[in-house]
């Protein structure tokens, strides 16, 4: 086998691997969209088109700004009665997920298994002493 043939074969393999990866990603996206459409459509039928946090109402083209939030953060938990969902506007939904991330960060234990306090600095620890000195 010549060097040129070896290069062509490895190039063909990379191309077929990339095509396979592209198909897998496209299928995963399609499945996700179908799953989201299913529970989103259900949630829009069950709940009023109002953000559960800020109370903003949605109609027409603005309805796309209303999202379905999974209360337990498990996107596969979609009971038919909608008990794991709430409708949130884009802004409140982002806020909810950022709070969840912050909460997770503070709940992490240290490598030795002990819970560390979020802050150790006490800026007002000597305030009483400083105020006594001024008198």
pTM of the model: 0.52
Cα–Cα dist 115/1, whole Å: 62
| Structural domain boundaries, residue 15 | 3-108
In a domain, 119, yes or no: no
Nearest to 102 by CA among 81, 118, 114: 118
98 in Cβ contact with 58 (< 8 Å): no
In a domain, 31, yes or no: yes
Chain mean pLDDT for the chain? 81
In a domain, 126, yes or no: no
Q: 123 or 110: which carries more pLDDT confidence?
A: 123
In a domain, 54, yes or no: yes
Report the pLDDT averaged over residues 119-131: 77
Burial class, 93, CB count within 10 angstroms (exposed 0-12 / middle 13-18 / buried 19+): buried
Give the number of domains in the chain: 1
In a domain, 120, yes or no: no
Give the tens place of pLDDT for each residue, 31-82: 777 766 688 888 998 999 999 999 999 999 999 999 999 999 888 888 889 9
Give the tens place of pLDDT for each residue, 13-24: 788 889 999 999
In a domain, 114, yes or no: no
Cα–Cα dist 18/24, whole Å: 10
- Is the pLDDT confidence value at 3 over 60? no
In a domain, 41, yes or no: yes
In a domain, 95, yes or no: yes
Share of the chain above pLDDT 90, in %: 36
């Amino acid at each position: 086998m010549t060097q040129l043939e070896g290069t062509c074969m490895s190039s063909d393999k990379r191309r077929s691997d990339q095509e396979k990866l592209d198909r897998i990603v496209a299928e995963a996206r399609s499945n996700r969209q179908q799953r989201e459409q299913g529970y989103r459509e259900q949630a829009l039928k069950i709940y009023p088109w109002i953000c559960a946090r800020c109370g903003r109402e949605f109609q027409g083209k603005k309805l796309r700004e209303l999202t379905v939030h999974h209360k337990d953060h498990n996107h596969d938990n979609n009971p038919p009665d909608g008990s794991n969902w709430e409708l949130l506007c884009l802004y409140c939904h982002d806020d909810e997920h950022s709070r969840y991330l912050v909460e997770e960060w503070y709940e992490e234990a240290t490598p030795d298994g002990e819970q560390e306090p979020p802050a150790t600095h006490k800026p007002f620890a000597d305030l009483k002493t400083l105020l006594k000195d001024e008198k």
